[in-house]
Amino acid sequence: MITEPRTRRSLPIPGWAILLVAVAALVVATAAITATLVAGSGPFRMMGDRPGMMMGGGSFAGNGSAGLMGGLGTGSSGQPGSAGFVAGTVASPRVIRVYAGPGYAFSPSSISVARGETVTFVVATMGPTAHEFMVGPGDAVASDTPGTPEVADIGMMQAKSLTYTFDGPGPYAFACHAAGHYEAGMRGTIVVVS
Ligand SMILES: [Cu+2]
């Protein structure tokens, strides 16, 4: 008699457990696909998608694969001004991963760079909407000035790279100028640490 409610009560638990496992598996699979896409298309696109206006260059492949695992957040090995920080150079840019979306936002929305350093931004779109990534002097980025370094048409689960050298005091910024996105708040700031 005591066992009866127990068995009844225990029945829904496996149901929930199966659901939880299924959801967890889905999340893991999505993360794995995202990581693969970012890893696969980063260096790959670097070859094909860099118009002449992009600055800098360099050994992305070495940097990129090393940075992927630790770099899913922001920088893995310290921020400018902190101990152990290694600034990117033209020959070996620092890789910073930026996620565009979901929604009209970048993550992170604020990025610190050392004055003079060269950074390769690997921008991945995380939702169904295609985005752009423009980086440069704050006023040029705000007004979408032609000639400002930019990668466009970054589709869902795609990643494109853009290398930029921050050789001035700033202010610098980045933004998406796909129609309506900037107005919706799709922009970020770059803090130059001297
Ligand atoms: Cu956008």
Residue range 74-80: mean pLDDT, rounded: 65
Ranges of each domain in the chain? 29-193
Q: How far is the CA of 88 from the centre of ligand 1 (A)?
A: 26
Q: What angle do CA 55, 61, 191 make, to 5 degrees?
A: 50
Q: How far is the CA of 113 from the centre of ligand 1 (A)?
A: 23
Q: How far is the CA of 15 from the centre of ligand 1 (A)?
A: 40
Q: How far is the CA of 162 from the centre of ligand 1 (A)?
A: 16
Q: Does residue 117 surpass a pLDDT of 60?
A: yes
Q: In which element (H, E) is residue 70 found?
A: helix 60-70
**15 half-sphere exposure, CB direction, 13 A CA radius:** 5
Q: What is the pLDDT of residue 78?
A: 77
Q: What is the pLDDT of residue 194?
A: 82
Q: How far is the CA of 178 from the centre of ligand 1 (A)?
A: 5
3-state secondary structure of 164: strand
| Domain at 29-193, CATH from 2.60.40.420, 3.40.50.300, 3.30.750.24, 1.10.3720.10 | 2.60.40.420
**Is the whole model's pTM more than 0.75, yes or no?**
no
141: burial class by Cβ within 10 Å (0-12, 13-18, 19+)? buried
Q: How far is the CA of 101 from the centre of ligand 1 (A)?
A: 7
Pick from 192, 151, 157: nearest CA to 175 = 151
Q: What is the pLDDT of residue 77?
A: 58
Q: How far is the CA of 65 from the centre of ligand 1 (A)?
A: 26
Q: What's the CA gap between 106 and 187, in Å, rounded?
A: 7
Q: Strand 110-114: give its sheet, edge to edge.
A: 110-114, 187-193, 172-175, 131-137, 150-154
